[in-house]
Amino acid sequence: MSQDLSGKIALVTGASRGIGRAIALALAARGATIGVHYATGADKAAETLAAIEAAGAAGFLVAADLSGAQPWESVTAQLRTELKARGAEKFDILVNNAGVSKRLAIEEVDEAEFDRVLTVNLKAPFFLIQSLAPLLNDGGRIVNISSMGTRAAYPFMATYAPSKAGLEALTKLLAVHYGPRGITVNAVMPGATATDMNAVSRDPNVRAATAKTIALGRVGEPEDIARVVAFLASPDGGWVTGQIIDASGGQRL
């Protein structure tokens, strides 16, 4: 068994920066061709693609705002075009990483914000999987990026945590649904990770205080999460399905 992904094609949503970018680069380093999805920030997506190509791998861009109207149709159409250009009919790995979060307690959440978070974090992955499943090879991989906010209580994650809990429930039922096709479906729960969306990367005091809540004594890096995803996407991860894997370094145990 190995983590060699040569000849595989992957689509990573939200791959222009942060954890998504690290996942795209990790899969590319193992030989996969990477579809770099982004909603905004085409320049950052182009940088990710350039890094993939500089490492000797191949990739392509997929643009779609997952908070918009039926973006899965656009993603599917773009992916079909890219597959055809490469002489392929199907792809192998789908990583649902794109997500949005705003730190709000329940009293601060209005309906528009609730709908925005649930749309991007749960509705979009749901219908992306539904739309892309016919293009996914038997024996393929689906990896959903969740959050340790589903197992520890963070009152300021009033919309984010429920949206990710729904994604975890979807992960388990789809593992059974797609099992007959040999497709594994798993979720990864990052803890505090140093990305530009997280205060631990901007405030040294927050970073130090957070590190004290983590068994391994430091805040996570995007590459820590990417290595877990790469394992699940690889042949080595072929006997793991329906699992919600904590990748927090032991935060708030």
Task: List active site positions.
Answer: 160
Q: Please identify which residue in the block is written with the tokens 């984010």.
A: 160
The answer to whether 128 and 72 are in contact (CB under 8 A) is yes
CA pair distance 99, 35, nearest whole angstrom: 17
Tell me which residue has tokens 């140093």. Answer: 194
Q: How far is CA 37 from CA 6, 59, 76, 234, in A?
A: 20, 10, 11, 20
CB 124 within 8 A of CB 66: yes
C-alpha count within 13 angstroms, C-beta hemisphere, residue 37: 28
d(Cα 148, Cα 39) in Å, to the nearest integer? 24
> Which residues is 38 bridged to in the sheet?
63
Signed CA dihedral, 209, 243, 171, 134: sign only: positive
- 89 token code pair: 């009919």
